[in-house]
Structures are given as structure tokens and as C-alpha cells.
Amino acid sequence: MAEESLKIASIQNPRVTCEGSSVLLDVNDGDRLVFARLSTAATIKIGNKKCSLGPMIGCPFGSLFQVESGPKGPYLSRVVSTSEGSNTQRKDNSQLKDELKDNRAIIDDNTAQSLSGEDIDAMRRQGAAGDEIVEALIANSSTFEKKTLFSQEKYRLRKQKKYAPRVLMRRPFARSICEAYFKKHPARIGFMRIDALSLLLSMANVGAYSDVLVVDMVGGILTGAVAERLGGTGYVCNTYLGDTPYSMDIVRIFNFSDEINRRIMRSPLSNLCSSKSKTSEHSEKENALSSVSTEQTDLPSGNGTTDTILTSMHETNSSLVDKPCKSTKPGERASPEILESWKQNGFSSLIIAAPELDTWKAVQELLPLLSYSAPFAIYHQYLQPLATCMHKLQVTKMAIGLQISEPWLREYQVLPSRTHPCMQMSAFGGYILSGMRIYSG
């Protein structure tokens, strides 16, 4: 029994890649983040070397790869050593001696390194591994021994990044996707930081079997994050004003199963608000249309955008091979039956991340679609629209428990005797207005 359910869990939540898996590649410890889809034809460019992503297929997520040069050019080779353990050891031994050193004897005159560019090229031609070049550079640096231990580490790391770059393969999760976008293209996700996204999901009580209404004008990160928490149960309804659905390309980066994709619905707001009879009349016509129109909107945006992400984020060249099995696309038009059930029961929560909409007007239309006592959370990168909306909600007595919060996130460098907050931090991750709908009938 237990084994059976574990098996199911591992299908739902795969820890090993296969052909067609979406992956997040972390180059040199966060220096570069690349989304890619694994196939034998896909490649990644690191420095001036182009490597096939083929060796990554069938490896567990979390695997580390290093660029090596082989007879057929550079290739990715999996690193399975535990050499880092011995590094730590050495560090501890020299800890005491080190504290007496400083940088008074170091003169910046470009003569410290006796190994020339030609020497390094020659080493490469002889098939030296990246690590060997790094060791040679250290051995030939006249100042290395004079550096403090901390700057020796920094030196080693800098050379390693250049001569022996590493690629870590990560599972794309709401967390890693949001972090990657926030770092590279914050505007595409409305400057929503991971702590703000996490708060939205908690404040809106997103969990299995909930029916979550979202207005996602942040590229689909919100829709994807909600679907991830639903795990193939309940529904996330991505609603939009007018006739054109908002893009949700980021959803494709998640490795969602068909079961999860089926739970991602789209519906124009007019369909959610209109009366019962009108919907069923419309829906047949619209359904016939929608299957075509989703195809149309999905296909170009699918190939196009993911490629844009790939190319703009990095110079990867992975053709987006569709999964071998026929897969369900996320964002089908909600059927009349589902619309009807939402109308009967109300949504269990609401999340809005729509920087371009009038917040108060949107809330006036959307809040009545929620069950009584249902929580909601509204994201905005500016405070004023939320302040206005909160005031109006107070005056009209539509909701209680109203609060505007702004998360603050600080990362720390933790090292022996060198612990302090990181020198650079994100100063802003967005504002959230949260509350609960009340019964006013």
C-alpha cells in the first residue's frame, strides 16, 4: 500500500529527468539561470563552448555537471565526487594562521600570474581538465599564499567559474521559477518576489480541492504556483477581461502532469458573471470557437515565448520538443458544467495580480463570485491602488480582516567569523492587500 502510494507520488513529482523534461539550469552557482527542455538536440552555451544537454537526460534533479573537453569538443560530464569535503578540512586547519594575514603585501601590477594565455591554451590542447588548469593557476600565482584564506577561496572560485564552469540541474518549482524571473526579468512577473508570491498562496488558503479564481497578468507565474499547490485536484480559474486571455507561458516551465494541466481553466470574466441561461446558450458556440482559438493562441506563444525566454535569458538553443505522449494543454476554456458549479458554490478564494487593471473596479466585480468567508489576496507593485481599494472595501463593508502588508526579505552570508547580511539585497518585493468576504444578504 505504502509503496504503491509512493510510486504514484513519484510519478506526480518526478525526481529524475526524461526526454522532454523542463529543467532549470544554474550555471556557476547562480551566475546564470537558464530554463531549458531536455532533448538530445538541445544545447547550452557556456562561455564560448556549446554543449549538448543530452547527458542530463535520465539524471536525478540536483545533479551537478562540469564542462569538459573531449575529442568531439566540449561536453557536460556529471560530477559525483565529494572533493568539497576535503576543502573544508584544509580550511579548518589553517584557520588560526590565517587570521594574521592581510592585504598589505599585495601589489596590483599584473605580474603575479606567471602562466600566460598561451600556456593555458597549450594545457587545454593536451586535454587538461578544468580543475587541473585552476590548480596550475594557483601554483603559478606568486601572491596566492599571501592572500587571506577568504580571498584564496574567492580566487579559487573565480578561476573555477572561468576554467571549469559548473551547471546544476534543478527541478522547476514555483520557488525557483519566481526567483529566476525576479533576478532576470522582474518586470515580466510584475516585480513579484518569492516571499510575496508565497504570502499570496497562504493568504488565499490555496490547498487541495480548492477552487481558486485568479487574475494573472504576471505571465502565468501565479496560475502555475496555484496549480502546483492543487496537485491535480480542485481548479484554478484564470479569468480575464475582454476577449483575449492573458499570457500564461510560464505555466509551461513547470513540469506539470496532464492531471495538473487539466485543473487549469480559463474563462472570460463575462462568463463567470453572466446569468445561468445566458451562459449555456453562449457556451456551445464559444466552446466550438475556443478550442480553435486556444490552439491559435497557444501554439505561437508556446514555441515563440518559451524560446524568447530561453534565448533572452540565455543563449540556449533547445528546440522545444513536445513530450512524446499526447499531453493536455493547460488553460482549456471552462465548460458550462464547471461554470455552473462555480456559480452554485462560489470560488473558495481569489488572488489578483493585475498591475494594469483598476484594482477597486476589479474587486467590485470579482468579490461577489467568492463564497462567504472566502479569503482573497491582491498583489500590486504600487501602494496607492491597494490603499484606495482597502478604504472602499471598509466603507462598503464588503470584507473584513483587511490588511496591507509588505514583505521584507534579507539574505545572510554565514561564514566562520564572517557572518553578516548580504551586501546587496532586493529592497522591494510588492504589496499585498488581504481580507475575507463577508455575508451581507
Partner 1 sequence: MLSMDPGKKISFQRRICDGDLAIVYERHDSMKAVKVHEGSELQNRFGVFKHADWIGKSFGSKVFSNKGGFIYLLAPTPELWTLVLSHRTQILYIADISFVISYLEVIPGCLVLESGTGSGSLTTSLARAVAPTGHVHTFDFHEQRAASAREDFERTGLSSLITVEVRDIQGEGFPDDFRGLADSVFLDLPQPWLAIPSAGKMLKQDGILCSFSPCIEQVQRSCETLKASFTDIRTFEVLLRTYEVKEGRMEYGAGDESDSLGPLPCKRRQCSSDGSIGSESFSAPVIMARPCSETRGHTGYLTFARLKCLQ
Residues 292-351 contacting partner 1, CB under 8 A: 344-346, 348
Q: Which is nearer to partner 1, 105 or 422 (CB)?
A: 422
Alpha carbons within 13 angstroms on the beta-carbon side of residue 384 total 1
E-only strand ranges, 38-100: 43-46, 49-52, 64-70, 73-79
Q: How far does CA 255 lie from the centroid of its chain?
A: 11
Amino acid (1-letter code) at residue 369: L
Residues in a beta bridge with 49: 46
Q: Does 141 bind partner 1 (CB under 8 A)?
A: no
What is the pairing mode between strands 349-353 and 375-380?
parallel
Specify the stretch interacting with partner 1 by CB under 8 A; choose among 8-16, 143-151, 214-222, 261-269: 8-16
Q: What distance in Å separates the CA atoms of residue 89 and residue 94, rounded to the nearest whole number?
A: 9
Q: CB–CB of 204/212 below 8 Å?
A: yes
Q: What is the largest CA-CA distance in the chain?
A: 84
Q: Which is nearer to partner 1, 299 or 408 (CB)?
A: 408
- Residue of 195, 286, 298, 365 interacting with partner 1 (CB under 8 A): 195
Minimum distance from residue 195 beta carbon to partner 1 (Å): 5
Q: Does 128 bind partner 1 (CB under 8 A)?
A: no
- Residue of 53, 67, 194, 264 interacting with partner 1 (CB under 8 A): 194
Minimum distance from residue 268 beta carbon to partner 1 (Å): 22
The CA–CA distances, whole Å, from 363 to 105, 405, 423 equal: 65, 18, 39
Minimum distance from residue 245 beta carbon to partner 1 (Å): 25
Q: Which is nearer to partner 1, 48 or 82 (CB)?
A: 82
Please tell me the count of residues contacting partner 1 according to CB under 8 A: 80
Minimum distance from residue 115 beta carbon to partner 1 (Å): 30
Site for partner 1 in 27-46 (CB under 8 A): none
- Residue of 216, 228, 249, 332 interacting with partner 1 (CB under 8 A): 228
Q: What distance in Å separates the CA atoms of residue 360 and residue 399, rounded to the nearest whole number?
A: 13
Q: Which residue has the cell 451581507?
A: 440
Q: CB–CB of 328/360 below 8 Å?
A: no
Q: Which is nearer to partner 1, 29 or 284 (CB)?
A: 29
Q: Does 60 bind partner 1 (CB under 8 A)?
A: yes
Q: Does 192 bind partner 1 (CB under 8 A)?
A: no
Q: Does 383 bind partner 1 (CB under 8 A)?
A: yes
Site for partner 1 in 85-124 (CB under 8 A): 85, 88
Report DSSP letters for 93-104, one per residue.
HHHHHHTT--ST
What is the pairing mode between strands 22-27 and 32-37?
antiparallel
Minimum distance from residue 437 beta carbon to partner 1 (Å): 6
Specify the stretch interacting with partner 1 by CB under 8 A; choose among 153-161, 280-288, 304-312, 381-389: 381-389
Q: Does 54 bind partner 1 (CB under 8 A)?
A: no
